[in-house]
Amino acid sequence: MKYIILLFGFCGFLFASNTDISQTDFIERVINFVIFVAILWYFLADRLKQLLQNRKDGIINKLNEIQEKIKLANQAKIQANNHLEEAKKKAVEIVSDAKKEALLIKQKYDEQYKIDTENLFKHTESLMRFEQKKAENEAVENVLNRLFQSDVAQHLSNNEYIKIINKKVS
């Protein structure tokens, strides 16, 4: 519509000028052009409108698809962040449990170490007492054997034997 007004404005400008338009075919050409545009508009306007509408609908559909994909991506991101937070909490919990378990195991082995050490000391003490008694018995037996094999043994009394044995053992 703007173009038709501009065209008529241009025609008015030509008539207002001092040139003689009667010797040109400008008016006929303008009329032919207007008729041509009107025919084109009549036959192609609906198709052009339909083409533009289809293009508009296609763009709207693509935009809706992209918005839906963005929405799904945001939901997936939120879900992934939730899983990440849960994983972090679980990792902290696992580390905490591992530290507690390590402490319990350490305490268990410390207690077992103490018990084993005490048992080892008791066993060593009893073994030392046993070896000491064994050594005392061997010393007594050795002294008695020497006494009985010597000539002096025939002249000693039981009390003297006991005194000699106590001296050797001490």
Q: What pLDDT, in 10s, does the model give residues 52-66?
A: 999 999 999 999 999
Whole-number pLDDT of residue 144: 73
C-alpha dist (Å) from residue 101 to 68, 96, 98, 115, 134: 48, 9, 5, 21, 48
Gap between the Cα atoms of 107 and 168, Å rounded: 49
> Which residue is it, tokens 């839906």?
68
Residues across the chain = 170
For residue 24, name the pLDDT band (cuts at 50, 70, 90).
confident
Nearest-angstrom CA–CA distance, 97 and 124: 40
Integer distance in angstroms from the first to the last C-alpha of the chain?
Answer: 140
- pLDDT, position 112: 94
Query: What is the chain's Cα-based Rg?
Result: 62
Give residue-wise pLDDT tens across range 125-137.
999 999 888 888 8
Chain segment 63-107, per-residue pLDDT in tens: 999 999 999 999 999 999 999 999 999 999 999 999 999 999 999
**Residue 103 is which amino acid?**
L
Helix pair angle (26-149, 158-169), 10° resolution: 150
Give the chain's mean pLDDT. Answer: 84
- CA-to-CA distance for 78 and 10, rounded, in angstroms? 63
Mean pLDDT over 27-41 rounds to 91
